[in-house]
């Protein structure tokens, strides 16, 4: 059913918080996502010409890098982009078959590969580019929030998080329940001013982004050397003693 579900009482709202302050742009999340999903629920994530000219592949996670601001005040910000599991996702409501759906129990947006006809209308409806068509399977594929990890009782409990979260070396990605005000993700959003991407679309993304922190005030300029020493040894001594 592609009409949006009425949230069940006590239902979870699972999603990610992505910390743009700590993301180092290493692409490990994107690579681990590809690795996990190429062999799990969404497998195979088709790659064509992987080792030749014009390689082309389906990925659920893409890391952009932006520059913002000018001159001394400018920042380089690494920006992972994946499905935001929106609360009112148009990718679900436009689906003519019911293959694209939002789960009532935890809000995860999924595609049923058995009923998807591959019309690609959902990819057009998503403002964020979260969906990529797998031409080999003829069906649309997307981030599942690693549904085959987070509920997988064969995995030790600490590993029951999305692959991108488990692999992030900078702990820039956090997974949890936004409906629980005491959860780590809810607290992070509250404390750090977590925000929605393209809120003007009205899709109400579940995933939140944490803005880069303000840079520390620049260190005061070192006072000029007092001795007027000309020899390099004396200048070094002066610097060493001034510390």
Partner 1 sequence: MKPAGSIVFFTTASGAGYGMLFWLGLLSTTHTLPTALWYGLTALIIAGALVTAGLLSSTAHLGNPQRAWRALSQWRSSWLSREGIAALLTYIPACLLALSWLIDPHPAPLTALLAAALAIATVYCTAMIYASLKPIRQWNNTWVAPFYLLAALFTGAICLAAITGFANPAAAATLSEFAMLTGLAAALVKLLYWRHIDTTTSASTVASATGLGHLGTVRSFEAPHSEENYLLKEMGFRIARKHAAKLRAYALLFAFAFPIAILFGVVAGVVPVTLILIAALCALLGMALERWLFFAEATHTVVLFYGRQA
Listed in sequence order, the residues at least 6 apart from 42 whose beta carbon sits closer than 8 Å to its beta carbon are 60, 113, 141, 142, 144
Q: Which of 60, 107, 110, 128 binds partner 1 (CB under 8 A)?
A: 128
Q: Does 153 participate in binding partner 1 (rule CB under 8 A)?
A: no
Nearer to partner 1, 78 or 149 (CB): 78
Of 41, 80, 65, 88, nearest to 203 by C-alpha is 88
Nearer to partner 1, 86 or 165 (CB): 86
Q: Which of 7, 11, 31, 79 binds partner 1 (CB under 8 A)?
A: 79
Q: Does 66 participate in binding partner 1 (rule CB under 8 A)?
A: yes
The residue count for binding partner 1 (CB under 8 A) is 71
CB of 42 to partner 1, least distance (A): 14
Nearer to partner 1, 11 or 119 (CB): 119
Q: Which of 98, 159, 180, 234 binds partner 1 (CB under 8 A)?
A: 98
Nearer to partner 1, 56 or 236 (CB): 56
Q: Which of 54, 153, 157, 226 binds partner 1 (CB under 8 A)?
A: 54
User: Which 158-217 residues touch partner 1, going by CB under 8 A?
Assistant: 195-202, 209, 211-212
CA 168 to chain centre: 10
Q: Does 43 participate in binding partner 1 (rule CB under 8 A)?
A: no
β-strands 14-19, 208-210 pairing:
parallel
CB of 138 to partner 1, least distance (A): 3
Q: Which of 1, 184, 225, 229 binds partner 1 (CB under 8 A)?
A: 1
Nearer to partner 1, 98 or 227 (CB): 98
Q: Which of 8, 104, 135, 190 binds partner 1 (CB under 8 A)?
A: 135
CB of 186 to partner 1, least distance (A): 19
SS (H, E, C) the chain: CCCCCCCCCCCCCEEEEEECCCCCCCCHHHHHHHHHHCCCCCCCCCEECCCCCCCEECCCCEEEEEEECCHHHCEEEEEEECCCCCCCCHHHHCCCCCCEEECCCCCCEEECCCCCCCCCHHHHHCCCCCEEEECCCCEEEECCCCHHHHCCCCCCHHHCCCHHHHHCCCCCEEEEECCCCCCHHHHHHHHHCCECCCHHHCCCCCCEEECCCCCCCCCCCCCCCCCCCCCHHHHHHHHHHHC
User: Which 107-126 residues touch partner 1, going by CB under 8 A?
Assistant: 115-121, 123-126
């Amino acid at each position: 059913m592609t009409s949006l579900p009425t949230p069940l009482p006590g239902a979870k709202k699972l999603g990610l918080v992505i910390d743009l302050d700590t993301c180092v742009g290493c692409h490990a999340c994107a690579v681990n996502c590809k690795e996990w999903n190429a062999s799990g629920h969404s497998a195979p994530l088709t790659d064509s010409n992987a080792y030749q000219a014009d390689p082309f592949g389906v990925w659920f996670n893409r890391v952009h890098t932006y520059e913002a601001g000018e001159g001394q005040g400018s920042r380089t910000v690494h920006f992972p982009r994946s499905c935001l599991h929106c609360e009112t996702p148009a990718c679900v409501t436009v689906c003519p078959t019911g293959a694209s759906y939002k789960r009532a129990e935890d809000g995860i947006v999924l595609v049923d590969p058995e009923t998807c006809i591959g019309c690609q209308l959902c990819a057009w409806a998503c403002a964020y580019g979260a969906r990529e068509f797998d031409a080999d399977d003829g069906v649309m594929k997307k981030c599942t929030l690693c549904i085959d990890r987070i509920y997988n009782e064969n995995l030790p409990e600490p590993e029951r998080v999305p692959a991108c979260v488990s692999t992030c070396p900078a702990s820039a990605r956090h997974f949890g329940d936004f409906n629980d005000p005491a959860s780590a993700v809810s607290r992070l959003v509250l404390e750090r001013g977590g925000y929605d991407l393209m809120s003007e679309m009205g899709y109400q993304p579940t995933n939140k982004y944490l803005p880069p922190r303000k840079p520390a005030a620049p260190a005061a300029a070192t006072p000029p050397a007092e001795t007027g020493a000309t020899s390099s040894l004396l200048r070094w001594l002066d610097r060493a003693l001034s510390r």
